[in-house]
Structure 1
Amino acid sequence: MTGSGAPEGGVYEWYQRGLQLLAGGDPAAAATLLARATEVEPESRSLREALARAQHDAGRYREAIESFARLIAANPADDYAHFGLGLAASRAGELELAAEHLALAVALRPDLGHYARELRGVRARRTRGAR
């Protein structure tokens, strides 16, 4: 950190360090650093995706939903963003929202079995809850 409280280096270094923190099992620190980077480069898809992943892994599901939603707003055909939003919504207990975005992810990438598995799981949870 510098004297101003900003991390050392530039945005790219922050991004790389955030990915290292995420891979190293410290998603909360990664989310903090990546949030700082997205303040400087708010339109960076790579930063926003890494931030959303870190927020999700840190259990900050509502924040992850917002970050994935921003990715979708920029590119409605982003299957990974729909998948991530669906996972975060599922963990937050928002099963309708989760099912909607997981179904979109499956429609965009039917070849990815883990998308379909998550959708089936959310639909099963939703059905159990409706009983």
Structure 2
Amino acid sequence: MDETGVPDGGVYDWYQRGLELLANRDPAAAATLLARAAAAEPGSRSLLEALARAQYDAGRYEEAVGTFRELTAGNPADDYAQFGLGLAASRAGDLDLAAEHLALAVAMRPDVGHYSRALRGVRARRDGETS
């Protein structure tokens, strides 16, 4: 980092370092670096996806909901972003939002078993709360 607090290198370097931090199980540091990169390149879906994953892994579920929501707004047919939004919403305690987006992911990719398992789990939790 330089004396102003800006990481060394360019946006691509920040992205690569952020992915390394995620791989090395340091999601909070990854989220910080990737947020800076996403701010510098706001249209980059790969940066937003990595940022959302880092936020989720760091337990920053509300932030992850916002970032995954941004991804789904840009491309509603992105099944992974719908799945991520559903998982983050579930962890944030919004089971209705979670069920909605997990159902979309399942509808887009019924062949992905963990999408269906996550949806069943959220529906069971939601239905258990209303019983």
Deviation at 1:3, TM superposition (A): 1.7
State the match for 2:57 in structure 1.
Answer: 57
Aligned to 1:21: 21
Question: What are the superposed Cα offsets for residues 44-92 of structure 1, whole Å, 9 maximum, x if unpaired?
Answer: 0000000000000000000000000100111010000000000000001
Aligned counterparts of 1:60 and 1:31: Cα–Cα separation in 2:
9
What letter matches 2:17 in structure 1? Answer: R
Deviations 1:87-121 (CA, angstroms, capped at 9, x unpaired): 00000110000000000000011110000000000
| Equivalent residues, number | 131
Q: Tell me the TM-score normalized by structure 1.
A: 0.99
Superposed structure 1 runs of 4+ greater than 2 Å apart: none
Cα RMSD (Å): 0.5
- Aligned-residue offset at 1:2: 1.1
Letter in 1 for 2:63: E
Which secondary structure does the structure 2 equivalent of 1:4 belong to? coil
Unaligned runs of 5+ in 1: none
Give the partner amino acid of 1:6: V
